[in-house]
């Protein structure tokens, strides 16, 4: 029994992995044996904290202490990236919040563009790099709370509406819907800047830390999407045959939908973790993407689940004429179960990871043969070589 317990197998796996990567660490200019031992030590420590292995106290603790305290020389401190931008930080803060707001748009494109390129943020939005730069010297209202600002622009973008001047009432109303409907979308700025192009630019420059930077870059995108909004507005009114009094309402709703549809290209971007993208290594340690391209035949399905889920509700929104006449069927899925599923993804949920040999179904009876699996149920890890499943749908 001792030879086949879960703990034994895990220990064997750890040792196997470490021994097989030892060459990579030592030869060819790798980090060295010390780093390798540190990796093993931390790995084993985490496993013991998780309670899945036992009997390693001597080795891991003995190795941990010298290595952790000793020659860990960080090559590059990636946790605080903006410290490397000292040449840009001060001028950015000064230029973004000068005493005269009229001067703001002029110098910021230089600093903002440089900041955007330095961070390699794929969305191209200047939202994310700027708050990091300005967290030190940001005296603006939004800068007063940098963490919600960085994590999602929705509180920030929601905050903008009370500050805006109501020159064009229809646009303000439409933008309110946009704010509520589209959270953490950099494209919402496009619409703000679009409407700002018709209003006072100085107000926007003051409200945006990077307002001046936004104006030249995002007008183009804003133009196209607002044209789409208008086109859909006219199509929608034609489609439904409504009278003109309802056209404005329709165009607002469809403008919202157009913005939702314009979300499609960006929905699968690094939206979920803008904070992590900034403060950890952006685009350098993108190992998920690299491995998926080069090594993996089958990806872990969790990212597929998320990506498969997002196009579906957006695709429903694209059918504009369903809005008023037919229900959107939003509640067809079992929402409770799905939310719980995504919320308890890894730790609390019981999980079985395995390979399948065969999956068959007869009427509502499903049978499957699995092999080489790890089960995590009731907070325990159980391994199996073969499993037979018999489910009733």
Partner 1 sequence: MATFELYRRSTIGMCLTETLDEMVSNGTLSPELAIEVLVQFDKSMTEALESQVKSKVTIAGHLHTYRFCDNVWTFILQGASFKSEDFVQNVDRVKIVACDSKLLSQ
Of residues 304-363, which lie at the interface with partner 1 (CB under 8 A)?
A: 304-305, 308, 337, 340-341, 346, 349-357, 359
Extract the tokens encoding 277.
């993208």
Extract the tokens encoding 86.
């000292």
Choice between 329 and 385, CB closer to partner 1: 385
Site for partner 1 in 237-256 (CB under 8 A): none
Site for partner 1 in 42-81 (CB under 8 A): 42-43, 46-47, 50, 52, 72, 74-79
Nearest to 278 by CA among 56, 128, 92: 128
- Choose, by CB under 8 A, the member of 98, 166, 285, 339 that binds partner 1: 285
Nearest to 278 by CA among 389, 392, 150, 152: 150
> Residue 382 pairs with which residues in a beta bridge?
375
* Least distance between partner 1 and beta carbon 328 (Å): 21
* Least distance between partner 1 and beta carbon 275 (Å): 13
Task: Write out the DSSP string of 194-225.
Answer: HHHHTS-HHHHHHHSTTHHHHHHHHHHHHHHH
Q: Applying CB under 8 A, which part among 166-174, 211-219, 226-234, 380-388 lies near partner 1?
A: 380-388
Q: How distant, in Å, are the alpha carbons of 153, 232, 301, 353, 393 from that of 360? A: 47, 46, 20, 19, 12
For the chain, the residue count is 393
Q: Give the count of residues interacting with partner 1 (CB under 8 A).
A: 89
| Contact predicate 111/90, CB 8 Å | no
Choice between 83 and 94, CB closer to partner 1: 83
Site for partner 1 in 257-276 (CB under 8 A): none
Choice between 245 and 364, CB closer to partner 1: 364
Residue 160 CB coordination number (10 Å): 19
Choice between 110 and 387, CB closer to partner 1: 387
Nearest to 252 by CA among 154, 314, 169: 169
Choice between 321 and 367, CB closer to partner 1: 367
* Least distance between partner 1 and beta carbon 22 (Å): 10
Nearest to 126 by CA among 244, 66, 211, 5: 211
Choice between 243 and 337, CB closer to partner 1: 337
Nearest to 158 by CA among 171, 172, 176: 176
Extract the tokens encoding 27.
């030869």
* Least distance between partner 1 and beta carbon 284 (Å): 6
- Choose, by CB under 8 A, the member of 240, 251, 291, 329 that binds partner 1: 291
Extract the tokens encoding 262.
């314009």
Residue 65 CB coordination number (10 Å): 11
* Least distance between partner 1 and beta carbon 389 (Å): 4
* Least distance between partner 1 and beta carbon 118 (Å): 18
- Residues 10-49: x/- map of binding to partner 1 (CB under 8 A)? x-xxx-xx--xx--xx----xx---x--xx--xx--xx--
Choice between 120 and 349, CB closer to partner 1: 349
* Least distance between partner 1 and beta carbon 54 (Å): 13
Is residue 165 part of the contact set for partner 1 (CB under 8 A)? no
Strand 365-377 and strand 380-392: the pairing is antiparallel
Q: Is 259 exposed, middle or buried (0-12, 13-18, 19+ CB in 10 A)?
A: buried
């Amino acid at each position: 029994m001792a030879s086949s317990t879960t703990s034994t197998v895990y220990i064997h796996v750890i040792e196997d992995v470490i021994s097989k990567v030892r060459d990579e660490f030592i030869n060819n200019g790798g980090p060295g044996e010390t780093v390798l031992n540190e990796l093993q030590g931390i790995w084993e420590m985490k496993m013991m904290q998780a309670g899945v292995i036992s009997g390693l106290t001597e080795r891991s603790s003995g190795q941990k202490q010298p290595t952790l305290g000793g020659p860990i020389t960080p090559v590059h401190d990636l946790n605080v990236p903006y410290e490397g931008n000292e040449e840009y930080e001060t001028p950015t803060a000064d230029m973004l919040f000068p005493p005269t707001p009229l001067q703001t748009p002029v110098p910021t494109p230089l600093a903002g563009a440089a900041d955007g390129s330095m961070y390699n943020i794929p969305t191209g939005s200047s939202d994310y790099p700027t708050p990091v730069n300005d967290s030190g010297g940001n005296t603006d209202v939004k800068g007063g709370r940098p963490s919600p600002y960085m994590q999602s622009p929705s509180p920030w973008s929601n905050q903008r509406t009370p500050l805006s001047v109501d020159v064009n009432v229809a646009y303000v109303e439409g933008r309110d819907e946009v704010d509520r409907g589209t959270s953490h979308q950099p494209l919402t700025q496009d619409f703000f800047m679009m409407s700002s192009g018709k209003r006072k630019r100085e107000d926007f420059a003051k409200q945006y830390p990077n307002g001046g930077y936004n104006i030249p870059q995002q007008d183009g995108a804003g133009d196209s999407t607002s044209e789409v909004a208008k086109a859909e507005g006219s199509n929608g009114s034609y489609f439904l045959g409504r009278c003109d009094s309802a056209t404005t309402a329709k165009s607002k709703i469809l403008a919202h939908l157009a913005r939702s549809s314009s979300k499609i290209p960006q929905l699968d971007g690094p939206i979920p973790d803008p904070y992590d993208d900034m403060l950890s290594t952006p685009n350098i340690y993108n190992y998920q993407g690299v491995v998926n391209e080069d090594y993996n035949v089958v990806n872990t399905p969790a990212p597929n689940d998320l990506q498969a889920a997002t196009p579906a509700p957006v695709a429903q929104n694209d059918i504009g004429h369903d809005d008023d006449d037919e229900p959107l069927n939003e509640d067809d899925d079992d929402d409770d179960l799905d939310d719980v599923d995504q919320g308890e993804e890894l730790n609390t949920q019981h999980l079985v990871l395995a390979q399948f040999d065969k999956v068959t179904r007869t009427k509502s009876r499903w049978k499957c043969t699995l092999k080489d699996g790890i089960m995590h149920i009731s907070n325990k890890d159980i391994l199996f070589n073969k499993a037979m499943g018999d489910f009733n749908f």
